[in-house]
């Protein structure tokens, strides 16, 4: 049997139902984090700013987001409707633009740029363009 990507989300929903209180949970609210912690890490606006900082196209930004979330090239190709070769080309272009050599390096670069943008945004209250590492 094949495991699907959202099998973890199904397990989480099932666990929520099993642990639900008889009164429907009205007496106390339980915070459940998303199945993927990276979903909480960056908002859509943050991704756009990272894309601008690294000079990425829209498609490269989509691929970078999927790499950041740990997807394989095959899954990225299925998700975006590309061939595996097309995904490979875009990932190679991402590596060159980010000056890294592998997926982990790309994830670290995205996280560093995001941290730098947030630090600069807090310091300047949203104004000014930061220098990139």
Does 88 map to a domain? yes
| Mean pLDDT for the stretch of residues 102-123 | 86
Does 89 map to a domain? yes
User: In the predicted model, is pLDDT for residue 11 greater than 80?
Assistant: no
* pTM of the model as a whole: 0.62
The CA distance from 50 to 106, in Å, is 12
pLDDT score for 39: 54
CATH code for the domain of 71: 1.10.10.10
Does 2 map to a domain? no
The number of angstroms, rounded, from the C-alpha of 108 to the middle of its chain's C-alpha atoms is: 12
pLDDT score for 119: 79
pLDDT score for 120: 74
Does 133 map to a domain? no
Does 14 map to a domain? no
User: In the predicted model, is pLDDT for residue 9 greater than 80?
Assistant: no
The counts of H helices and E strands in the chain are 7, 0
Higher pLDDT, 48 or 7: 48
Give me the chain's average pLDDT, please: 75
Of 4, 21, 13, 98, the closest CA to residue 60 belongs to 98
Q: Are 88 and 74 a contacting pair, CB within 8 Å?
A: no
Q: Are 94 and 61 a contacting pair, CB within 8 Å?
A: no
pLDDT score for 89: 94
Does 25 map to a domain? no
Query: How many structural domains compose the chain?
Result: 1
pLDDT score for 37: 47
Of 75, 14, 5, the closest CA to residue 39 belongs to 5
Please report the beta strands in the chain, taking only residues with DSSP state E, as ranges in sequence order.
none
Does 96 map to a domain? yes
CA torsion sign for 108, 110, 77, 102 is: negative
Does 23 map to a domain? no
pLDDT score for 91: 95
pLDDT score for 117: 86
Higher pLDDT, 12 or 78: 78
| HSE of 16, CA atoms in CB hemisphere, 13 A | 15
Which domain covers residue 50, as residue numbers? 37-124
């Amino acid at each position: 049997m094949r495991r699907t990507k959202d099998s973890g989300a199904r397990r989480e929903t099932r666990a929520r139902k099993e642990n639900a209180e008889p009164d429907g949970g009205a007496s106390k609210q339980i915070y459940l984090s998303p199945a993927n912690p990276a979903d909480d890490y960056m908002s859509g606006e943050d991704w756009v700013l990272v894309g601008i900082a690294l000079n990425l196209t829209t498609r490269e930004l989509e691929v970078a987001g999927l790499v950041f979330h740990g997807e394989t090239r095959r899954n990225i190709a299925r998700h975006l409707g590309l061939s595996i070769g097309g995904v490979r080309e875009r990932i190679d272009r991402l590596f060159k633009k980010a000056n890294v050599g592998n997926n982990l390096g790309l994830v670290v670069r995205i996280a560093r740029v995001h941290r730098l943008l947030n630090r600069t945004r807090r310091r300047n209250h949203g104004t000014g363009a930061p220098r990139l590492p």
